[in-house]
Chain A
Amino acid sequence: MISHYTESKNHTPTPGQARSSWVWFHRFGSSSYFYRFATLWGPRAGWCALVLMVIGIYMGLFVAPPDYQMGNSYRIIFIHVPSAWMSLSTYLLMAASAAIGLIWKMKVSFCVSRACAPIGAAFTFCALITGSLWGKPTWGTYWIWDARLTSELVLLFLYMGYMALDKAISDRNTASQATAVLSLVGLVNIPIIHYSVEWWNTLHQGSTVFRMDGPSIDARMLVPLLITTVAMNLYFISVLLNRVRCELLDLERRTQWVREVVNG
């Protein structure tokens, strides 16, 4: 009695069914449309990321002047700062798409949310590692309980909890909804954690922390930083789209369009 299983539920609605401004939203809700979109744009974003990253790193290493205080060791910021930014914005995207999934019951959006977690965790890990490597020449130690590093560490814990829950629940539907709730709970908690850690840090201020975010940063330093940030974003998009493609193929393996894709 196993019936053929069409994806009529979340397929592109006929025009006129939805207000025109929302058509794009419904289109992205359609798995096959999203798959085609991801197949097209994923690799392009990847190549752009590679080119920009090479340019950004080159400028960061050879064009930007050395810092008057830290010499050349500061150059790690061209990786460190973008990954720290990405670690947080990935979490925001993860929680936002989880919310969309819970509200509109969109499977694609759950896939995006789940695909975000390992990438976000990787960015967080990268930010922590580069931060601690940078800490050695700057502070003389690999780790200090600085507010930002501590917040970043807690963020890594949140990602780890998300991924552990995702792996532990065997039923896919249950897993994506449960992790969606967890990511929203984490979203509410992130500002609270951040400010409590910051407050805790000012209370226990042991060593003077070098503050990077001064108002004046040399344009020759700023430009490569911006370039690597854009490259990181494009890299994120590329990896995300690829992961979502895999998720979609697995999720919709019984549907007609996946058969067509797999059989060429």
Chain B
Amino acid sequence: MLTAIITRDLKCVSHNLSSAIQPIGFFILITSLFPLAITPDTETLKIIAPGVIWISALLATLLALDTLFKEDFIDGTMDQMFIVAESLYVIALARIISHWLFSGLPLIVMSLIIAVMLHVPAHAIDALMVSLLLGTPTLSMVGSIGAALTVGLRYSGVLLTLITLPLYIPVLIFGASCISADLAGLPWTGQAYLMGAMLVLSITLAPFATAAALRINMS
């Protein structure tokens, strides 16, 4: 079931590549707006870079969340999967994994380019990578709850943002601080451990909450 759904999502993405890369384009666009709005000055960019990268990652993840369950829900595939699986947990988990594979992972790769553009020095790249690797799956997990809660609504974009962003605050704080600490030459393993803890917690709890939310919206 899990692999069947992920394989299908892979096929969907390959058929519809342009919509799949939209969040990535959005990510690059948003980050490049900051130097335009604030300053192209190298030192300032270095200070704001962690925050810029993380806020853009947050928003790009949110953008892809809206359709996380909605397409399956609208075209009736969710009903069929539910009849076969009799539990929504696996379906939720599979969709979360797909979401991360097709939005989180490309985002991490792209952040390398963004880091160069924002003059993040090479020694801070490892902190950037670790924080994104630990943080973006958490974003997918937590965000899936909001996506499942709003799955029955036609226009849910703003509402989804409203209920999901407050839940993202801890990830934002620790993710950005992980990179800033490394930029300042301070140890950043503490932040990384805390992000790991949040990831474990969200993997444990979020799929259940997502499955419950989907069940509520189906009946």
One of B40-48, B53-61, B91-99, B162-170 at the interface: B162-170
| A174 CB to nearest chain B CB (Å) | 6
Asked if residues B216 and A177 are in contact (CB atoms below 8 Å), the reply is yes
Instruction: List chain B residues, Cβ under 8 A from A158.
Output: 166
**Are the CB atoms of A200 and B177 closer together than 8 Å?**
yes
Give A7 Cβ to nearest chain B Cβ, in Å. 21
Please state if A178 and B173 are interface contacts (CB–CB under 8 Å): no
A89 on the interface (CB 8 Å rule)? no
Contact partner of A174 among B152, B163, B174, CB < 8 A?
A: B152
Interface residues of chain A: helix, strand, loop or mixed (majority): helix
Would you give the shortest CB distance from B65 to chain A, in whole angstroms? 14
User: Does B74 sit within 8 A of A, measured CB to CB?
Assistant: no
Cβ 8 A contact of B159, one of A168, A186, A189, A192: A168
CB pair A188 B153 closer than 8 Å: no
Residues in A with CB closer than 8 Å to B212 are: 102, 181
CB distance from A81 to the nearest CB of B (A): 23
**Contact A178/B209 with A160-B162, A200-B173 known, Cβ cut-off 8 Å:** no
Measured between beta carbons, the chain A residues less than 8 angstroms from B150 are 165, 168
B217 at the interface (CB under 8 A from A): yes
A residues 130-188 touching B (CB-CB < 8 Å): 154, 157-158, 160-162, 164-165, 168-169, 174, 177-178, 181-182, 184-186, 188
B24 CB–A CB distance under 8 Å: no
Check if B67 is an interface residue, CB within 8 A of chain A: no
Instruction: Return chain A residues, CB-CB under 8 Å to B159.
Output: 161, 164-165, 168
Q: A196 and B169 in contact (CB under 8 A), knowing A160-B162, A161-B162?
A: yes
Least distance between A127 CB and chain B CB atoms (Å): 17
Using a CB–CB cutoff of 8 Å, the interface residues on chain A facing chain B are 102, 154, 157-158, 160-162, 164-165, 168-169, 174, 177-178, 181-182, 184-186, 188-189, 192-193, 196-197, 199-200, 203
Residues of B at the A interface (CB closer than 8 Å) are 145, 149-150, 152-153, 156, 159, 162-163, 165-167, 169-170, 173-174, 177, 198, 201, 205, 209, 212-213, 216-217
Please name 11 pairs of A and B residues whose Cβ atoms are closer than 8 Å in the assembled complex, sorted by A.
Answer: A157-B166, A158-B166, A162-B163, A164-B162, A174-B217, A182-B145, A185-B209, A189-B166, A192-B170, A193-B169, A196-B174
